[in-house]
Amino acid sequence: MMTPTLRLGVTGLSRSGKTIFITALIRNLVSGGRLPFFMPEAEGRIERAYLEPQPDDEVPRFDYEGHLEMLSRNPPEWPESTRRLSQLRVTIEFKSGSALRRAFGISRLNLDVVDYPGEWLIDLPLLEMTYEQWCAEALAQARSPRRQAHAKGWLEFLSATDPSAPKDEQTALRGANLFAAYLKAARADDHVLHTTGPGRFLLPGDLEGSPLLTFCPLARDAKQSYGRNSLAAMMARRFESYKTHVVRPFFRDHFSRLDRQIVLVDVLGPLNEGGDAVVDLQKALDAVLRVFRIGAGNWLTALFTRRIDKLLFAATKADHIHSSSHDRLEAILRVITDRAMGRASDTGAEVGVQALAALRATREAEAKVGNELLPCIVGVPMPGQRVGGKVFDGKTEAAVFPGDLPANPRDALRPNAAPAGLQFVRFRPPRVLPPGIDGESPPLPHIRLDRALDFLLADWLA
């Protein structure tokens, strides 16, 4: 009863690095990593941090040990992406910065870190949509040049399907399967592609085969009304049931209890695809973050019992570019999230933007090309990665010049802007070594993880 609990939500679209962020955060806290800009640690006030038993019986435990085991292999492997909701509690014992509080002895803070799949995050905008609005947006996306080839089978189904026809389970099943196949194919082919969802069509979990996932958008006529027993009416009812029985309970039970939020964003992938991909990312984030409006007049605010007073946007994979470009990366993320940041600031929340790498997989060097010195990053590319005509085997170290980010961040959001010409290579993670003979665990390399911790936690450890 005397130990306060801080719930930290770790959010981000898929492939934004949530799993490795949480793993690195916990390892650095528990093992006393090098965190010079995390002031409670730098001032020597943290006595120790340790894992506690899972506090919520109905929520699976974050597989921290399993992820560390993958990083300790030879060669090391990146942990698998998040596939379900999970949580982990770390208790931090610290000396208060206040002489009065220090007189009462060591203080404690329970930090509950909550993780869930990025695919489920894209369900957030559905809460503010009608079935008709969702149909219109999904059809517009499917007919866009980047998606047309993947959506061909589903679009052919729509052209042969009459929404006013009597409801039919087999027709609904076929449409749902074709729609889900289109979403999965588009995501597999284009890792930076964002969609309206539903997220459970991409990662169904225990809902696979359920009527809650047996629906899809239809090519509705806005001027036509559809009877109660029509196929369109059945699809609309199931869309609303999905929101009622899947989306609302999930965000009510977990988001309503958050105190702090970090939103991880992979900016580099869309940036290298060109302006359309960056605009696509901006739209996806803006739609998602609209529902996070604290104090705004929508249904979600009524469910919040605890106020999210600090929100951090973090551009991940900063180790994929040279440090000379980190300021530009932060500036681009600031432009992408400008509207969301303004809404959060208007409610009194403190908002920050950072470029970081929770686990640094590269180091920096310079390469001389002719009379020019190019800032490079050095690491071991993953098997199958390609630069120019060379394909890497996953064992050989290489120096890569990733290119330069645009000096004007708004240039990145110009529709039809050419790709940035960057070379992003997936590198193997550094190997996590076991504790030495002194029992000390070697620190994990990172970029600005300590600054993120300071923004999110330091005031609770004052």
Which pLDDT tens digit goes with each residue over 413-427? 887 777 667 778 899
Q: Going by DSSP bridges, is the β-strand pair 372-379/363-369 parallel, antiparallel, or unpaired?
A: antiparallel
- Own/partner long-range contacts of 181-190 (Cβ < 8 Å, ≥24 apart): 181/153, 181/154, 182/142, 182/147, 182/150, 182/151, 182/153, 182/154, 185/150, 186/146, 186/147, 186/150, 186/151, 187/14, 189/150, 190/146, 190/273
| Backbone φ/ψ region at 295: left (φ over 0), alpha (ψ -120 to 50), beta | left
Q: Please check the confidence at residue 204 and state whether its pLDDT lies above 60.
A: yes
Residues 330 and 393 in one domain: no
What digits encode the pLDDT tens for the residues 109-150?
999 998 888 878 888 889 889 999 999 999 999 998 889 999
pLDDT recorded at residue 342: 80
Length reported for the chain: 462
| Higher local confidence (pLDDT), 362 or 277 | 362
- Taking alpha carbons only, the member of 433, 452, 323 closest to residue 375 is 323
pLDDT recorded at residue 295: 40
Residues 272 and 207 in one domain: no
Residues 137 and 102 in one domain: no
From 216, 249, 282, the end of a domain falls on 249
Residues 335 and 454 in one domain: yes
Instruction: Write out the residue range of the structural domain in which residue 68 sits.
Output: 5-121+251-359+442-461
From 249, 277, 312, the end of a domain falls on 249
Percentage of the chain lying above the pLDDT 70 cut: 95
pLDDT recorded at residue 437: 63
Q: Please check the confidence at residue 1 and state whether its pLDDT lies above 70.
A: no
Would you call 387 exposed, middle or buried from its count of C-beta atoms within 10 A (0-12, 13-18, 19+)? middle
Going by pLDDT thresholds of 50, 70 and 90, the confidence category of residue 372 is: confident
Residues 167 and 312 in one domain: no
Name which of 206-215, 299-308, 330-339 the model is least confident about: 299-308
Amino acid letter for position 372: E
Q: How many domains, in total, are found in the chain?
A: 3
Average pLDDT over residues 103-107: 84
- 429 belongs to a structural domain: no
- Please answer whether residues 260 and 9 qualify as being in contact, where contact means their C-beta atoms are separated by less than 8 angstroms: yes
Average pLDDT over residues 197-207: 86
From 249, 269, 300, the end of a domain falls on 249
| Higher local confidence (pLDDT), 222 or 221 | 221
pLDDT recorded at residue 299: 36
Percentage of the chain lying above the pLDDT 90 cut: 56
Name which of 13-27, 151-165, 307-321, 415-429 the model is least confident about: 415-429
Q: Please check the confidence at residue 106 and state whether its pLDDT lies above 80.
A: yes
Q: What is the CATH number of the domain that holds 337?
A: 3.40.50.300
Average pLDDT over residues 70-92: 91
- 430 belongs to a structural domain: no
Residues 214 and 257 in one domain: no
- 182 belongs to a structural domain: yes
Going by pLDDT thresholds of 50, 70 and 90, the confidence category of residue 300 is: very low
Count CB-CB contacts under 10 A for residue 2: 6
- 204 belongs to a structural domain: yes
- 428 belongs to a structural domain: no
Amino acid letter for position 413: L
Going by pLDDT thresholds of 50, 70 and 90, the confidence category of residue 294 is: low
pLDDT recorded at residue 306: 65
Residues 29 and 63 in one domain: yes
Residues 354 and 391 in one domain: no
How far is 52 from 108, CA to CA, in rounded Å? Answer: 12
SS3 category, 109 = strand
Residues 239 and 263 in one domain: no
Q: Please check the confidence at residue 22 and state whether its pLDDT lies above 90.
A: yes
pLDDT recorded at residue 227: 93
Going by pLDDT thresholds of 50, 70 and 90, the confidence category of residue 303 is: very low
- 436 belongs to a structural domain: no
- Please answer whether residues 124 and 255 qualify as being in contact, where contact means their C-beta atoms are separated by less than 8 angstroms: no
Residues 258 and 377 in one domain: no
- 431 belongs to a structural domain: no
- 425 belongs to a structural domain: no
Residues 453 and 343 in one domain: yes
Residues 70 and 152 in one domain: no
